[in-house]
Structure 1
Amino acid sequence: MDLDVFVRAHSAEWARLEALLGRRRKLSGAEADELVALYQRAATHLSFVRSSAPDPQLVGRLTQLVARARSAVTGARRAGWRDAGRFLSAGFPAALYRSRHWWLPTALLSTALAAVIGWWIATHPEVQASIAAPDQLRELTRPGGQYETYYSSHAAASFAAQVWTNNAQVAAVCLVFGAFLGIPVLWVLFQNTLNLGIGLGLMSSVGRLDTFLGLILPHGLLELTAVFVAAGTGLRLGWTVIDPGPRPRRTALAEEGRSALGMAIGLAIVLFVSGVIEGFVTPSGLPTWARISIGIAAELAFLGYVYGPGRRAARRGETGDVEGPDRGARQPVVA
């Protein structure tokens, strides 16, 4: 294609579109129709230039022009409380429900692996010796030791904020790096599982498994579930790179990526709740049964959220993706 000829042939249309976009007064009906037609043609021109003669300067000019025209045609849209309410009541739970076939197996396999690691450490003194020196192990596992004082070593509010930040970072890593075929997600998941298994094994080896579970279950049920959801979502995103299904790979990655971004926002809220429990309930003077009951109630509320509103929203067609006007066109519209 002769790029100069193409530009000369269509520059008048682009100039007219720019003129219409620059009007400060309200467009007449005929001018509005003209703007839509010129926008459609410009989008087609942009697609043609990108595929046939990708001149960076021309592509940049047309991209900016098409974006301005699209905003004028579709109207500027601002997110508000209604969007947040829709996300929490439909988008987020639907995304959780749709991805359950990834995060539920992740949760079961990780928990089983942690239990196996804990059993192996508890029954093999030589493995315990490879983890730390005997005096360090005693300091970790004794009554009033580091495993117990960890949850009350800081003020509850600051500790809850620190825990929330750390867990949100773990979840974000799982979601962001899922596109790298899920390999970084597996490493983060293994590290999390290994730490849990070590705690189970060491406390079990001194006959204090009940104490450990009393400390970890109140907040850990919801916290670990959120991490498993993030890991499962990251693995799903990584699998999309390998097998996008019937969708074009770019479209599939865009849809799953936007859903993962929404998942990150929703999980931040879930992890905030678990952080509050860890900061205020876990180290509290409540009986163990009461603290564990609070953790179980939070976990059941989350699962009810997934299988109640989430299942209903998914059956209505919700996917967790942004609304149609915010997605962008999958392909240019031809006039």
Structure 2
Amino acid sequence: MGSDRVNATVTTPSAIESAALRSDRFRLEREADWKRLETIVSRMEKGRLRGISDEDLLALPGLYRTVASSLSIARETSLDAATLAYLESLVQRAWFVVYGPRSSLWEWLRGYLGGGWSVAVRAIWLDILIALAVMVAGAAVGWILVSHDPEWYFSLVGREMAGQRVPGASAEVLRGTLFGQSRQDGMSVFAAQLFSNNAQVSILAFALGFAFGVPSLLLLVQNLASLGAMAWVYHQVGLTLDFAGWIAVHGTTELFAILLAGASGLHIGRAFAFPGDRPVLQAASEAGRRAALVMTGVVLMLVVAALLEGFARQLVDETFGRFAIGGFMLTMWSAYFFAFRGDSSGGTDRS
């Protein structure tokens, strides 16, 4: 037993020396690649791309794989902790340079608003035209149904949302719902209900598009039918223009958002129904990416509409001013989507 202890004492330093030599040899054989990769990565992290030669840029992916392989070997052979820590840090930094995102959130947002969003919208122009026709038809259906039977009004609008806006209400009562409401809580509650309803319609119209777009179109019909029914109520007492101005302040933005949401859902549905030469899943995937870009902007439009609904419509208490705001917003959105080209680097899919 004593002999075993002596042997252990003798062999332990030898094993340590052997491991150290193996670690040093491993480092010396590969350190040149490590240092080269570290130099390239450091320059790229500091934005000094001009200081990197074409040869180094071409060698970058290969150097990354070489160092990643070195890390794998180092872990398997249990090399010293310092070498492992160095390689793990270098591989992590190099991964972000080689495979990580090429732009920051701010850069992506600038590219998206600078043209990417408008490109995505123009890519679904056919679906927008179909959705627009369905929305107009929905408003006409609501108007016609209520004009023939006022009881349809409560089926389309609902008693809670209708409030004083009901068939048979006097012109004075209805005018009071359009003007002089800036200090009344009831108007704010109605505005919140209207916004919540339209936001839900937008999200559902997009989310249900996979069912060949049919639910998306039905939601557009239902939502616009309630607007058409309410327009008829104001028309009966000669307040059509004032009602249109009241809607225009936020409606040119909010209804535009609903239009785009419905068109996005329809775009996905059409890809399922008519994939063309592509496999169904491929066509749906491409349409989904395009529609998702549109819907990202729809959320922004709904936020803008909520601000207009909560502030501008209450502060501007006359019809001409309301039309001016609504007309300006409609012109701005139309110009951005269909006239502005800008930079389409916002990640749109042109296929």
TM-score by structure 2 length? 0.62
Report the equivalent of 2:272: 241
CA contact (8 A) 1:94 1:313 kept: no
Specify which of 319, 328, 351 is matched with residue 288 of structure 1: 319
- CA distance 1:103–1:26, change in 2 (3 Å): same
CA contact (8 A) 2:264 2:295 kept: no
- CA distance 1:76–1:107, change in 2 (3 Å): closer
Residues 67-216 of structure 1 aligned to structure 2 (within 5 Å): 73-77=98-102, 79-122=104-147, 124=149, 137=166, 142-145=171-174, 147-148=177-178, 152=182, 153-154=184-185, 166-216=197-247
Displacement of 1:265 in angstroms is 1.5
Q: Which amino acid counterpart does residue 291 of structure 2 have in structure 1?
A: A
**Partner Cα distance (1:288, 1:209) in 2:** 11
Residues 245-264 of structure 1 aligned to structure 2 (within 5 Å): 245-264=276-295
Q: Structure 2: which 5+ residue stretches go unaligned?
A: 1-33, 39-55, 69-93
Report the equivalent of 2:44: none
Q: Which amino acid counterpart does residue 110 of structure 2 have in structure 1?
A: G
- CA distance 1:321–1:164, change in 2 (3 Å): farther
Q: Structure 1: which 5+ residue stretches go unaligned?
A: 1-23, 40-68, 323-335
Which shifted more, 136-145 or 116-125? 136-145
Q: Tell me, what secondary structure is at the counterpart of 1:202?
A: helix
Specify which of 269, 289, 301 is matched with residue 300 of structure 2: 269
**Partner Cα distance (2:221, 2:293) in 1:** 24
CA contact (8 A) 1:107 1:225 kept: no
Identical aligned residues as a percent: 27
C-alpha deviations, 1:131-183, integer Å up to 9, x for none? 799x9836866534585389755499998777655433322221222112212
Which shifted more, 293-302 or 190-199? 190-199
**Partner Cα distance (1:75, 1:126) in 2:** 60
- CA distance 1:136–1:108, change in 2 (3 Å): closer
Specify which of 310, 328, 351 is matched with residue 279 of structure 1: 310
Q: Which amino acid counterpart does residue 148 of structure 1 have in structure 2?
A: L
The answer to whether residue 351 in structure 2 is matched with residue 320 in structure 1 is no
Displacement of 1:267 in angstroms is 1.0
Displacement of 1:105 in angstroms is 3.1
**Partner Cα distance (2:151, 2:196) in 1:** 35
Report the equivalent of 2:90: none
Higher relative contact order (Cα pairs below 8 Å, separated by 6+ residues): 1
C-alpha deviations, 1:255-281, integer Å up to 9, x for none? 221222222211111122222222222
**Partner Cα distance (2:277, 2:347) in 1:** 16
- CA distance 1:290–1:148, change in 2 (3 Å): closer
**Partner Cα distance (2:146, 2:194) in 1:** 26
**Partner Cα distance (2:305, 2:181) in 1:** 13
Which shifted more, 298-307 or 199-208? 199-208
Q: Which amino acid counterpart does residue 143 of structure 1 have in structure 2?
A: E
Aligned length: 269
- CA distance 1:270–1:208, change in 2 (3 Å): same
For the aligned residue pairs, the C-alpha RMSD in angstroms reads 4.2
TM-score by structure 1 length? 0.65
C-alpha deviations, 1:276-314, integer Å up to 9, x for none? 22222223343211111110110011000011224x667
Displacement of 1:192 in angstroms is 0.5
Report the equivalent of 1:14: none
**Partner Cα distance (2:187, 2:300) in 1:** 18
